[in-house]
């Protein structure tokens, strides 16, 4: 996958597709010129008539250009996969070009896909587009076009979604006000815009141009277009009360850097974050879970979750499970990354050893230890099996580092109530401590209804412990005393 100088995926080509009243879907122009393989256009006058009728039959003649789209409840992004190989034989299309004939029905689609972001995978390319239809005084009473952006098939094009949509909307506005696309006089301005779009976005990640609209029925002789690419961030992860936030950056440095960005000068010592962020940041020590942070900061838990989602969104923290020596982990295939990545080895060694002491644990030993982590062995048992010197080796950091880099996975314990409460009531020996003492006079142990409701196999032990504010060993003892509990490790 190729990247531009600005760090965004490289645009391989841009092409303008139109619905021709006689020929059907065509490629009017492209940059580079030979980027699209149109082959032999199979559309005739009859084909175009059928296609136009199909659009009318599906309601494409009305409501498409209205801002109040009747299909607003449908998703704006549609991802489709189109194969270039025809049935019964190999593809005859040049693999270095975009096969337009194989995707033309998706580039000029039906009504439900108009004014939606569409991603089509074809051959070696990923094509993003935003089809537009304008009703008016045109042949067949409608003008349909689609400005398409092509990337490598493996490119992550999420950051280009707003750009593709904005270009389609701008072209629609320019067509409505000045016939930029339908008038032959606008061809030169269009081609100039397409060339500069490719060059400017690839080189600088932004685009600004004054379009020369002389000769068109525009209210102005020129118009300016400004487009800028921005990084795409995934929506914040769902944060639960039992999650433990782990710092990925130095909050003191991040606080001052953000202040310098806002004020464009050296930040003074009294520059502060939002009060909630400051309070929450004080409680993040890579050990406290979310509910404990909320209690220590005396802030409502939903507010703390919002603050942590903000930090997670910008990559300041990561979320792991509560570390306990009774936890069970298993090694993942990514353990091999430590063997190949020198930077990861150094980071792991510095993070795991106490105070970064050199010579305490060799890199070979670290790799070996990650490989020995397996299911059905708790962390405490693993320490004994491998003779770990906990005075010089930070086990918690070792586990957290492995989880953060995908080398270890937590195996959660899910308690499941197998026997019904009614059956358990009939067997007091299974419900209380009287089974151990041999006395039948003691009251049978009863769990709160909310705890019993969580014993359905969908809540793991960490979640139940945090909800009840109890230690894992204490909670497990209560569940064992209650009886009828099976533990599933997943």
For residue 393, list its beta bridge partners. 353
Query: Looking at the predicted structure, is the pLDDT value of residue 64 above 80?
Result: no
Provide the token pair at 23.
């020929």
Q: At what angle do helices 395-404 and 363-372 cross, to 10 degrees?
A: 70
Q: What confidence score (pLDDT) does residue 29 get?
A: 93
Q: What confidence score (pLDDT) does residue 420 get?
A: 56
Q: What confidence score (pLDDT) does residue 267 get?
A: 44
Q: Which long-range contacts (CB under 8 A, 24 or more apart) does 127-131 make?
A: 127/98, 127/103, 127/151, 128/157, 128/160, 128/161, 128/164, 129/17, 129/164, 129/168, 130/164, 130/165, 130/167, 130/168, 130/169, 131/107, 131/168
Report which of 295, 286, 296, 304 is spatially closest to residue 240, judged by C-alpha positions: 304
pLDDT tens digits along 6-27: 679 999 999 999 999 888 999 9
Q: How far apart are CA 118 and CA 402, in angstroms?
A: 38
By CB neighbour count within 10 A (0-12 exposed, 13-18 middle, 19+ buried), where does 349 fall?
buried
* DSSP-derived secondary structure letter, 130: -
Provide the token pair at 274.
């939002």
- 350 dihedral zone (left: phi>0; alpha: psi -120 to 50; beta): alpha
How many other CB atoms sit within 10 Å of the CB of residue 79?
Answer: 12
pLDDT above 70: percentage of residues in the chain: 75
Report which of 410, 412, 379, 413 is spatially closest to residue 486, judged by C-alpha positions: 413
How many other CB atoms sit within 10 Å of the CB of residue 213?
Answer: 20
Residue showing tokens 């593709």: 164
Q: 60 with 133: CB under 8 angstroms?
A: yes
Rounded alpha-carbon distances, angstroms, from residue 256 to 8, 123, 285: 27, 48, 20
Q: What confidence score (pLDDT) does residue 411 get?
A: 95
Query: Looking at the predicted structure, is the pLDDT value of residue 293 above 90?
Result: yes
pLDDT tens digits along 372-385: 998 789 999 999 99
Q: How far apart are CA 170 and CA 179, in angstroms?
A: 12
How many other CB atoms sit within 10 Å of the CB of residue 3?
Answer: 12
Dihedrals phi, psi of 250, to nearest 5 degrees:
-80, 115
Cβ partners under 8 Å of residue 5, min gap 6: 202, 203, 204
Dihedrals phi, psi of 197, to nearest 5 degrees:
-60, -50
How many other CB atoms sit within 10 Å of the CB of residue 415?
Answer: 23
Q: What confidence score (pLDDT) does residue 359 get?
A: 54
pLDDT tens digits along 227-282: 889 888 788 889 999 999 999 988 877 776 654 544 444 444 544 568 898 899 99
Q: How far apart are CA 391 and CA 469, in angstroms?
A: 30
Cβ partners under 8 Å of residue 221, min gap 6: 212, 213, 214
Average pLDDT over residues 136-158: 92
Strand 98-99 relative to strand 36-37: parallel, antiparallel, unpaired? parallel
Highest mean pLDDT out of 42-56, 175-189, 429-443? 175-189
Q: What confidence score (pLDDT) does residue 31 get?
A: 93
For residue 133, list its beta bridge partners. 144
pLDDT above 90: percentage of residues in the chain: 44
Rounded alpha-carbon distances, angstroms, from residue 307 to 125, 186, 244, 286: 39, 50, 14, 16
Q: Which long-range contacts (CB under 8 A, 24 or more apart) does 398-403 make?
A: 398/352, 398/366, 398/369, 399/323, 399/327, 399/329, 400/246, 400/286, 400/320, 400/323, 401/347, 401/348, 401/351, 401/352, 402/329, 402/331, 402/370, 402/373, 403/320, 403/321, 403/329
Q: What confidence score (pLDDT) does residue 458 get?
A: 93
* pLDDT level of residue 432 (50, 70, 90 thresholds): very low
Q: How far apart are CA 151 and CA 116, in angstroms?
A: 18
Q: How far apart are CA 287 and CA 305, in angstroms?
A: 16
Q: 241 with 291: CB under 8 angstroms?
A: yes
Residue showing tokens 């081609």: 191
Q: What confidence score (pLDDT) does residue 357 get?
A: 56
């Amino acid at each position: 996958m190729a990247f531009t100088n600005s760090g965004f995926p490289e645009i391989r080509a841009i092409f303008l597709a139109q619905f021709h009243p006689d020929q059907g879907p065509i490629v009017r122009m492209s940059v580079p010129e030979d980027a699209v393989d149109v082959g032999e256009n199979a559309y005739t006058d009859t084909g175009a008539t059928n296609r136009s009728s199909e659009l009318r039959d599906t309601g494409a003649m009305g409501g498409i250009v209205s801002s109040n789209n009747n299909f607003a409840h449908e998703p704006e992004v549609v991802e489709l996969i189109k194969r270039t190989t025809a049935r019964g034989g190999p593809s005859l299309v040049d693999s270095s070009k975009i096969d337009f004939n194989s995707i033309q029905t998706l580039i000029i689609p039906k009504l439900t896909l108009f004014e939606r972001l569409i991603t089509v995978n074809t051959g070696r390319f990923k094509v993003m587009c935003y089809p537009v239809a304008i009703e008016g005084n045109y042949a067949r009473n409608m003008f349909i076009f689609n400005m398409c952006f092509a990337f490598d098939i493996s490119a992550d094009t999420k950051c280009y979604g707003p750009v593709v949509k904005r270009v389609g909307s701008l072209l629609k506005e320019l067509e409505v006000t000045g016939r930029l696309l339908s008038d032959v006089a606008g061809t030169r301005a269009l081609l100039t815009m397409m060339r500069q779009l490719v060059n400017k976005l690839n080189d600088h990640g932004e685009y600004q141009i004054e379009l020369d609209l002389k000769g068109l029925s525009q209210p102005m002789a020129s118009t300016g277009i400004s487009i800028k690419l921005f990084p795409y961030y995934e929506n914040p992860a769902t944060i639960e009360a039992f999650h433990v936030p782990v710092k990925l950056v130095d909050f003191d440095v991040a606080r001052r850097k953000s202040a310098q960005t806002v004020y464009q000068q050296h930040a003074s010592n009294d520059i502060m974050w939002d009060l909630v962020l400051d309070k929450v940041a004080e409680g993040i020590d890579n050990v406290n879970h979310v509910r404990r942070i909320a209690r220590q900061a005396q802030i409502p838990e939903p507010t703390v979750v919002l603050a942590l989602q903000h930090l997670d969104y910008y990559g300041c923290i990561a979320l792991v499970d509560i570390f306990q020596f009774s936890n069970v982990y298993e090694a993942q295939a990514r353990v091999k990354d430590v063997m190949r990545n020198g930077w990861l080895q150094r980071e792991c060694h510095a993070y795991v050893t106490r105070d970064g002491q050199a010579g305490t644990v060799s890199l070979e030993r670290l790799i070996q230890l990650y490989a020995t982590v397996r299911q059905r062995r708790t962390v405490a048992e693993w320490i004994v099996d491998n003779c770990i010197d906990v005075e010089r080796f930070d086990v918690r950091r070792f586990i957290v580092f492995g989880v953060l880099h995908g080398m270890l996975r937590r195996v959660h314990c899910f308690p499941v109530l197998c026997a019904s409460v009614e059956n358990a009531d009939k067997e007091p020996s299974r419900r209380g401590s009287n089974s151990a003492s041999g006395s039948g006079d003691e009251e049978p142990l009863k769990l709160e209804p909310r705890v019993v409701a969580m014993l359905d196999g969908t809540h793991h032990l960490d979640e139940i412990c945090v909800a009840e504010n109890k230690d894992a060993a204490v909670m497990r003892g209560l569940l064992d005393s209650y009886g009828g509990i099976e533990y599933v490790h997943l």
